[in-house]
Each structure stands twice: as structure tokens, then as C-alpha cells.
Chain A
Amino acid sequence: MKPRLPGDARIWQIAFQAILLTVGVLARDFSLAAAQMALCFAAGLAAQALWVRALGLQGVGFLSAAITCFGLSLLLRADSLWVHPLAAALAVSAKFTLRVGAKHLFNPANLGVIAAVTLFPGAWISPGQWGSDLALAAWFIALGGLVASRAQRADTSWVFLAAYLGLAGLWTLWLGKSLDSWLHHLQSGALLLFAFFMISDPMTTPNRCSARVLHALAVAALAFAWQFAFFRPNGLLWALFFCAPLVPLLDRSLPGARFRWDGAAQPAATIARKDSWSTAR
């Protein structure tokens, strides 16, 4: 395995996700069993190892798979033990199978959660689980902001947050509701977690900055409509899922250098030719 550079943002992301999960389990009474988490990691990492071996890939480690497993543990709730490992195996496998060009199509944790709540019985998402405590919200921003900027995708997070909260603000104004009502959205732990740990994933966002802005705007608009016009829960996760096909389209019309976790920028042309299985996973 290639030695990892200390600048790999994923190590930071893993550390912060671990902190968040600990806070969630200890202070926010997540209904997540230790066994569910253990099985989730076992299945996710095993799936990664199997795919890497089967495809004979070089330089592909387990960091991204661990991030996926953390994401699933943070988001997915189930009343049985088998949902988490199955979702993790599906999510990791999708990285190797559902690909367009050199990139995987779906954010793995996002796909895992959507697949679980759609296909498996006894699986759900608790969007209210973080509550709206101001202090906790500040923590999310501080920790997540750091991770996102190290991953050079802070633009996605901020554009998305500005667009979503902007729409929510306009909606609140139009309804004649109080500022408290809007602040309640701003303080949503689920929103901040999504903005800084999911939509900012550099592997499933467009390569060029302008394309990422368009993508973030699309996700924000769809999430807003889902939540406020159609009154459905979990709009953020569904919006990211439905907007995933936009990414390859945007990459085609607005090409840019593909992201690498080790920090080396790569010209777009080389990717398609010989590097379709590099550190992308």
C-alpha cells in the first residue's frame, strides 16, 4: 500500500465522525446498538477488501470505506442487526460497480441509507435525532468546516447551506413566521452534518468549481421542495440521491481536474485514459 500523506483529509474526517458518533451515542441517545455498528464496519471493510482483491487494485486502502461505515452508523436506524452490514456492503460495492467514467456515481453512505430504507424492512432515518441545540450546531460547523476545507470542497458545503437556508428564510418570510422558526432550521444538526460530511465528498461532486456550485444549488432546491412543498421527511438525503446523475453530466459539460485524496491535482485527460482505478475509492 502506498504510504498515506498526513494531509489526507479522510483521516480528519474519520476522527470527527468518530467524535460525532460518540457524542450521538452518549449524549443524544441514538438508538444504535454496538453490535449494529460493529457489523456495519465488519461488512463494509470486508466488502472493500474483497473488491480490491477481486479487481487487483493497487494503492486502494480502507479510509473511504471506514468513512462510509461511520456515515451509515450516524444516519441509519434499524430494529434488527442485519440492516447495517447489508447496507454497508451494498454502499461499498456500489463504489466499484456503479461508475461513470473514472468516478463512482453515488455518495456511498447516501446510497446505503436510501437503499436500506427503500428495500429493507425495519430501517429508517431519524432526521430529528440531533435536536437543535446551538452549541452542538456550532460544533458541527467548526469540525465539519475544517474537514471540508481540507478536502478542498468547502465551496459545495457553503453554497449548499446558503441556498438551502436562503430558501428556508424566504419561505419563513413569506409565511410571516418568526425568526426563531428560521433559526430552528439553521440549528438542525442533520442539516449541518449533511452539508459538511456528505454533500462535500470530493469524489461524488463535480470536478470544476462552477459545476459544483450548480450541483449544490440543485440539491438545495430539490431538498427544499421535498421538505416544504411536498411535506416529505429526509429531503436532504433524497435530493442528493436524485441529483447524483447530474454529476457526470456536469463533468462532461464543464470538465475540470479530478480530485485526489493525496493532494496531487490531475489533469482531466489522463484520468479517462489510464487512471480509472486510482485512489478514487
Chain B
Amino acid sequence: MHWGSSLLVCALLSATGPAHAFCGFYVGKADANLWNEASRVVMVRDGNRTTINMLNDYQGELKEFALVVPVPVVLRKEDVKTPFRALFERIDAYSAPRLAEYFDPDPCLAPPARELAAPQALGRAESRIAKASADALGVRIEAQYTVGPYDIVILSAEQSDGLETWLLQNGYRIPRGASTALAPYIRQNLKFFVARVNLEEHAKSGAQTLAPLQFSFQTAKFMLPIRLGMLNARGPQDLVLWVLTRNGRVETTNYRTVKLPANLDLPPYLKTDQEHSFGAFYKALFDEQAKREDYRVAFTEYFWDMSWCDPCAANPLSAQELRNLGVDWVSGDTREGARVMLTRLHVRYTPETFPEDLAFQETADRRNFQTRYVLRHAAKTEPDACPAAARYLKRVAERKEREAQALASLTGWDIATIRARNGLGAADAGFWQRVWRWLRTPPNGEQPISK
């Protein structure tokens, strides 16, 4: 059975699947889709009103699928929806890390022509339940309904082992430790949202993949439960979280929130290079930065007023799309007067480095931020084309060296490989770079292996 991704904010239970199928495990390799193993959540927060949209890339047997999420109140049927999957693709594309391309003007032409920007988006990182023994176990079925392809039960429990037993008796195979992980939520009087696929409804819809789930509630707690999903973690897990608010940037209050290095000039060869593509660059950058921070921080990837963008990786979401995600303070066809701020956070965490669920606050910060990287193409000219040309070419060589160093430092890639691909020979390297290379070269004369 192949599990395409895991939803980390929830518990993904399985009736017959392997024990590691409990939400939060991490298998499979990143292929064309950069973060295809990441949990994707869109959260909308307005005062105490909270809406959570969760995308599920579950690819196993549908009858084995189940999802458990702690929620603060008993959700009514009208609080639960199945939004379009395309909304996630839209908000992802809009906020994706982006490349901006500029072409140097010919140094021999005066006055210099205006720079042309050609933004280009990074390809999208890509029941039935028996009631019989419930009372005896202290488990209460608070509500039960079907929404879209899902049979949903809202449970409350008095004891975590009672809940664990109930889940086991009802055909869920729960890994060791589930009871311990459930206990804090029960103590805080949280309810459990349990969803299973209703095979008949799913077949009727004709959908190939599972629809996302959306639920709304009122709560003073601005948080996202991630601890349940760590039960069977085998390594770092990824969460991409979009938060839509009225006023300002959202950050975590119990962990550091760090902006990823951005707005840097990078070697233009990234545009066409097979191995060092922009996608590979961004993945390596994130891997390297997350490792440097020891998986202890939440990274900000994007923060912008959703009415515009510059450069645009994709058009901003329409009023209708925003409403479908749960932004209920926009009305009509336009978003006139209603501000919607989007924060995109990317967290790579381990059970050890994130011992608490994520807690958030909306700050008053309105300074836009985007993970934008710039490619500057040099003008084609000869040193003797005009008096300015020689000076220009010298500046270009210096710039290429800076670009190479930036790329190496961000990604941990080998600088010699980068220099070679960026059209820089060893002679172009400055004195200190040459000393550094000499120091890094093993005594047998081998070059460091490029990553």
C-alpha cells in the first residue's frame, strides 16, 4: 500500500493497515512535487472564529481511511464542508516561492533601458460506528452525519484509554502511545472529529481523490494540534500552513518564526540546469535552513495582502474562492474594503523539537514578504565594444562570484560545481576563496563531491 502523504494535524487511523499508518508517519520520496509528503492546511482566523481546511493526499484503500482531529466544540453538520481541492492549488500557486528574471541593459547603450521583469512561479511543489459499548467506555457520540464522501462522528471522552478501547473495538488499529497522546486533549475537554470515507457517496461523486475537509468553530485558542500526528514519526515531518487573517502577519508564540533567506541574486543557470533547477534549489535551501535551525523553527515563506502581488506567481484568490475557504468577512464579487492577509508558514518538525502543539498570534506587522529569488542575465558584449564594456564585464564577473557564493551558502551545494556551471573558472575566485578551496580539498587531490 502506498501512502502519498500524511496529515500531521490529525490522526490517520487504519482498520487493517500497518501500525505506522497512524497519522504523521513519513514515507516516500519527494518527486516532481516538492512537498508532496507535507500536510497542507489552510486556516482562517477572525476574532475567535476559526476555520480549518485540510488537504489529504491519502492514496491507500479508501475503506481503511480514517481521520481524527481534536476540536474544541461539538461540530454541527453545517460546520463541516468539503471545499474544492483546487482551492489548495490556487493558494499554493499564489504564495509559492518565485523567480524573477532581469536582463542587464547593453552597457554601450545610453540611457539604460528599463529592467524587464518576467516572474515565473515555481511549479507547485506538489461508517459506520457501533454505539453499543460507547457509554461503558466513557465515550460519547456527540453528533453523527455524512458530509460529501465522509461519514463523520464527533466524540467526547472521559478517559483516554476508554477512547483508545472504543476506537480499537470499532475496527481502528491504533499504534502504541495513542492513549498518551490523546489524554491531554481529553483533559482540556476537547472533542474528537472522526471522519471515514462513505464508499457509496464517494463512488457517486466520481472523484479520483479524496475531497479536502473543512470545519469551523469558535475558540479562544489560536492553535493547531500537531502532536497527535507525531505518534509514529520516523523523521522530520513537513507542514505547509496558510493562515488568512484580517490584520497582520501570523507567527508562532511558542516557537521561533523565521523568515527564509530571500530576495537574493542567484546564478542564472538555475533556469535551465537539469540538476540545479529552481525546484531543486528551493528544496535544497529549505532542507539546509531547516537543518541549520535544528528543526526548531517555523519558517515564513510568504506574507502579503491578498488583493495584489508583485511579481505574481499566480493571480490572487477571488472573493468567491476566499469565501469557500472560510473567509466570511468578504462579500460580493469584489473584496472592496475587506482586507485579507495571507501568511504562509512552512514547518519541518520532529517529536523532540516540537514538544507542544503550535500556538499562534496575529501580529500588527504588515510588511510584505515573499521568497523571491532573482536571476540577472548579463548583456552580450565584448570588452572592446565600447569604453564602458570592460568595466561592465568586470562587474558581471564579480556579481557571478557573489551569486555562486550565495547559492552555495543557502543550499550547502559545492561551490566549485556552482562556479563551473555559472561560467566562473577557478581563476575568477578571490584570494580567500582559493585558500578556502585549498583547505577543503582532500589531501589525495579529489574535489569535494557536489551535492
Interface residues, chain A, with chain B CB atoms under 8 Å away: 28-29, 31, 77-79, 117, 121-124, 126-133, 174-178, 180-181, 183-184, 188, 230-234
Give CA–CA (A175, B187) in the complex, Å. Answer: 6
Place the interface of chain B in its size category. Answer: 20 to 34
Do A131 and B355 touch (CB < 8 A)? no
- Scoring A130, A131, A188 by chain B CB atoms within 10 A of each residue's CB, the highest score goes to A131
CB 8 Å contact bits of B124-155 with A (1 = contact, 0 = none):
00000000000000000000000000000000
**Which residues of the partner chain B approach A131 to less than 8 Å between Cβ atoms?**
255-256, 296-297
How far, in whole Å, are A234 and B251 apart by their CA atoms in the complex? 13
Contacts across chains A and B counted by CB atoms under 8 Å = 80
CA distance A177 to B296 in the complex (A): 19
Q: How far is the CB of B351 from chain A (nearest CB, A)?
A: 8
Closest 7 CB pairs of A and B: A180-B355, A176-B183, A124-B363, A131-B256, A175-B184, A233-B361, A233-B253
Known: A127-B253, A128-B255, A133-B296. A176 touches B187 (CB 8 A): yes
Provide the bound-state CA to CA distance between A78 and B366, in Å.
9
Instruction: Give Cα A90–Cα B232 distance, bound, in whole angstroms.
Output: 52
A184 to chain B, nearest CB (A): 5
Contact A77 B365 (CB under 8 A): yes
Q: Mark B250-261, 1 if CB is under 8 A from A, else 0.
A: 011111111100
A176's partner among B184, B252, B259, B359 (CB-CB below 8 A) is B184
B264-310 residues at the A interface, CB under 8 angstroms: 294, 296-297
Q: Which residues of A contact B248 (CB under 8 A)?
A: 124
Contact at A29–B355, with CB atoms within 8 Å?
no
B contact residues around A233 at 8 Å (CB): 253, 359, 361
A184 adjacent to B365 (CB under 8 Å): no
Q: Which residues of B contact A183 (CB under 8 A)?
A: 355
Interface of A is mostly: loop
Question: Chain B interface secondary structure, helix, strand, loop or mixed?
Answer: loop
Distance from A102 Cβ to chain B, minimum over Cβ atoms (Å)? 36
Known A-B contacts A128-B252, A128-B257; A123 and B364 likewise in contact (beta carbons under 8 Å): yes
Is B296's CB under 8 angstroms from A132's CB? yes
* B residues in contact with A123, CB < 8 Å: 364
Could you list 23 examples of A-B contacts with CB < 8 Å?
Answer: A28-B256, A29-B259, A78-B364, A79-B364, A122-B365, A123-B364, A124-B363, A124-B365, A126-B251, A126-B363, A128-B251, A131-B296, A174-B187, A175-B183, A175-B187, A176-B180, A180-B355, A181-B355, A181-B356, A184-B355, A188-B254, A233-B359, A234-B253
User: Which residue in A117, A126, A184 is a CB contact (below 8 Å) of B356?
Assistant: A184
The verdict on B63 contacting chain A, using a C-beta distance below 8 Å, is no
Evaluate contact between B254 and A128: CB separation under 8 angstroms. Answer: yes
Q: Which residue of A lies closest to B365 (CB)?
A: A79
CA distance A127 to B160 in the complex (A): 32
Residue of A nearest to B160 (CB): A176
Shortest beta-carbon distance from A237 to chain B in Å: 12
Asked, given contacts A77-B363, A79-B365, whether A175 binds B188 with beta carbons under 8 Å apart, the answer is yes
Query: In the complex, what residues of B have CB within 8 A of residue A130's CB?
Result: 256
Q: A124-B365, A130-B256 are in contact. List 5 more A-B contacts (CB 8 A).
A: A77-B363, A79-B366, A122-B364, A133-B294, A184-B356
Q: Which single residue of chain B is at the shortest CB-CB distance from A129?
A: B256
Chain B residue with Cβ nearest A188? B254
CA distance A183 to B253 in the complex (A): 16
In the complex, what distance in Å separates the CA atom of A122 from the CA atom of B356?
28
**Which listed residue, A28, A77, A132, A175, touches B255 by the CB 8 Å rule?**
A132
**B1 interface residue (CB < 8 Å to A):** no
User: A120: shortest Cβ distance to chain B, in Å?
Assistant: 8
Closest to A83 in B: B364
Interfacial residues of chain B within 185-219, with CB under 8 A of chain A in the complex: 187-188
Q: Are B361 and A177 in contact (CB under 8 A)?
A: no
Shortest distance in angstroms between B376's beta carbon and chain A's nearest beta carbon? 26
- Chain B, residues 361-375, CB within 8 Å of chain A (1/0): the string is 101111100000000
Bound-state CA distance A181–B180 (Å) is 13
Q: In the assembly, what is the distance between CA of A183 and CA of B355, in Å?
A: 9
A121: B residues at CB distance < 8 A: 364
B222 at interface by CB-CB < 8 Å:
yes
B226-267 contact mask (Cβ, 8 Å, vs A): 1 or 0: 000000000000000000000010011111111100000000
CA distance A85 to B285 in the complex (A): 37
A29 to B299, CA, bound (A): 12
